[in-house]
Amino acid sequence: MEKKKTAKSVRKNIQELIDVQGYDRENNCYRMKDGSYMNIIQITSKDLVNSSDDEVEYDCLRFARLYKLYAEDIKIITMNFPCDTTEQQYYIEHKMQKQANPVYKNFLQRKLDELVWLGKHDTTREYYYMIFAKDTEEMEKNTLLLMNTLGRGKTGLLMYLPEEKKRQILFRLANKCSMMN
């Protein structure tokens, strides 16, 4: 009997698997290979335990209103990022250098050790909307609908992301096992 030789499948590289063609800086969104557009907007987290019941219910109603009004494709992304405490560490180190009181210096050292531990062992959970559109006008319309419904700023539930953060999110989506700061 003659064994049949099967053709080995060729593994695709990441550029063939991901549909992102490039970043459109003019419109602050990603251009896809098929000509459509995609954007990522962060959902700001709130402390639901310490919030009033009325505030939580109001936020739920805002989300319900969004899902009634928004007819286009939308994806919710949840990610864990390492907790970044470098700014606080620099500040405490700066205060320790200027401090002459040994008791207060010891207190600052404990705080610094705690921040270092948090940076190594704790993660921050973040939530994002990934929205899609056929062209830039539709992307602008979808983004405005999201922002007007959920709001941004101090009482809002959404926040625009810089290009670098969007790139980190896409990298983490494509490389699930990677840890990055």
**104-161 pLDDT per residue, tens:** 999 999 999 999 998 888 888 899 999 999 999 999 999 999 999 998 767 789 999 9
pLDDT digits 0-9 by tens, 48-69 = 888 899 989 998 999 999 999 9
What gap in Å lies between CA 179 and CA 107, rounded to an integer?
A: 31
For residue 83, the model assigns a pLDDT of: 84
Q: Is 94 left (phi over 0), alpha (psi -120 to 50) or beta?
A: alpha
Angle at which helices 53-69 and 136-150 pack, to 10 degrees?
Answer: 160
Q: Model-level pTM?
A: 0.73
Pairwise pLDDT comparison (14 vs 52), residue with the higher score: 52
Measured from the Cβ of residue 173, the count of other Cβ atoms closer than 10 Å reads 14
Give the model's confidence band at 8: pLDDT under 50 very low, under 70 low, under 90 confident, else very high: low
